[in-house]
Amino acid sequence: MKQLFITDVSPRDGLQNQALHLSTQDKRWLIEALSDSGIPRIEATSFVSPTGVPQMADAADLLAAVTGPASDKLCVLVPNSKGLFRAQDAGAREICVVLSATETMNQRNIRMGMAQAVSACLDVLQQAQEAGLRTRAYVAVAFACPFEGQTSPDLVMQLSKQMADAGADEVVIADTIGAAHPSQVSNLMGDLINTMGADRLGLHLHDTRGLGLANAWAAMQVGVNRFDSSAAGLGGCPFAPGAAGNLATEDLAWLAHESGYETGIDIPALLQVVEGLSMRLKKPLGGRSYAWLKQHFSKVSAEPHHALPGKQA
Ligand code: COA
Ligand code: ZN
């Protein structure tokens, strides 16, 4: 069966923009519950400025708190060398650097111009590799930038190649503000697959304009099989105006299972994570399919001799 490898980014992308700050213990619950639902990799937190993103100030404490199988599945975002050192000290084994594809977004996000951001990312990748860490390199605002409009696909190709040549284990193309449409996605991801193959290529989608699943499907059609998504569709970037929630993990997992892909995710268990998140963040949450999925799986589990939840697809 075809596999789709999903990284859930809700503890980082999801929580970094929430007015209500979850406690370290609640974040630990989220990460361990995501892991128990079968999510193979989780972006746990970011080692960024606690003044810039106070929601992530407990990054080191959080890594220390997570135990069990979840602790082998974590990656963390680092914006610069200082973040890498902090992450290493805290025992991180996989880091993500963020390079934006426009000058202004780099300035807003990590306070560096493009040239400086490229060289800082290359330095961090090299330092991380020397320390034996796995690495992911985001190419952010890869389709459109909230400050500069449409992004040049040629530039995204060039930056992706630079990150791949620098040995990034995965290059993740990010539609940071959820502005891409399916033909753009299939063109760019198809070109990238032709140059670097699918094994090291990921796609990070937001669902701002309702095209998250359509974009995921377009990417799947050209062979992309690694995606970032967020439980409950929680997400957004404090430095990118207009960025709404990420593509919801429950929506993507449902699409994948219905289309004959294996994800390892138990959807009913994931729905319980969404419910727990909703309770902790004190608001109704959930992807586009959430209400229907809940009803569907509660009926399935009420039937005698039902198939194992999440396994029938
Ligand atoms: N972690 C913690 N503190 C950090 C840090 C990091 N990774 N990088 C810098 N700092 C601290 C510095 O030590 C300094 O502290 P001080 O004022 O107590 O001396 C302060 O931040 C300013 O340092 P400077 O190097 O001038 O950084 P900056 O002001 O240019 O900010 C970032 C750079 C990257 C730290 C900041 O822009 C940031 O955290 N951005 C967050 C990006 C993000 O999370 N985006 C969303 C995800 S894509
Ligand atoms: Zn994002």
- pLDDT of 301: 80
Q: Which ligand is nearest to the CA of 244?
A: 2
- How large is the C-alpha radius of gyration of the chain? 18
Question: Which residues lie with the beta carbon below 6 Å from any ligand 1 atom?
Answer: 16, 46-49, 52-53, 77, 79-80, 82-83, 86, 98, 109-111, 237, 239
Q: Which ligand is nearest to the CA of 14?
A: 2
Would you say residue 305 lies in a domain? no
Nearest atom, ligand 1, residue 176 CA: 48
Range of the domain at 232: 2-300
Would you say residue 38 lies in a domain? yes
CA–CA dist 44, 30 (Å, integer): 9
> What does residue 293 show for φ and ψ, rounded to 5 degrees?
-60, -40
Greatest pairwise CA separation for the chain in angstroms: 62
Nearest atom, ligand 1, residue 98 CA: 48
> What amino acid occupies position 98?
V
Tokens of 125: 């990748």
Would you say residue 313 lies in a domain? no
Would you say residue 244 lies in a domain? yes
Would you say residue 309 lies in a domain? no
- pLDDT of 304: 63
Tokens of 217: 């499907």
- pLDDT of 310: 43
Would you say residue 311 lies in a domain? no
E strands, the chain, in order: 2-3, 5-8, 41-46, 74-77, 94-100, 134-140, 144-145, 149-150, 170-174, 201-204, 226-229, 261-262
Full pLDDT tens readout for the chain, 313 residues: 899 999 999 999 999 999 999 999 999 999 999 999 999 999 999 999 999 999 999 999 999 999 999 999 999 999 999 999 999 999 999 999 999 999 999 999 999 999 999 999 999 999 999 999 999 999 999 999 999 999 999 999 999 999 999 999 999 999 999 999 999 999 999 999 999 999 999 999 999 999 999 999 999 999 999 999 999 999 988 888 888 899 999 999 999 999 999 999 999 999 999 999 999 999 999 999 999 999 999 988 877 654 444 444 3
Q: What is the CATH number of the domain that holds 223?
A: 3.20.20.70
Domain total for the chain? 1
| Candidate of 48, 100, 138 to mutate for ligand 1, largest count of ligand atoms within 8 Å of Cβ | 48
Instruction: Give 49 Cα–ligand 1 centroid separation in angstroms.
Output: 4
Would you say residue 14 lies in a domain? yes
Is 145 catalytic? The answer is no
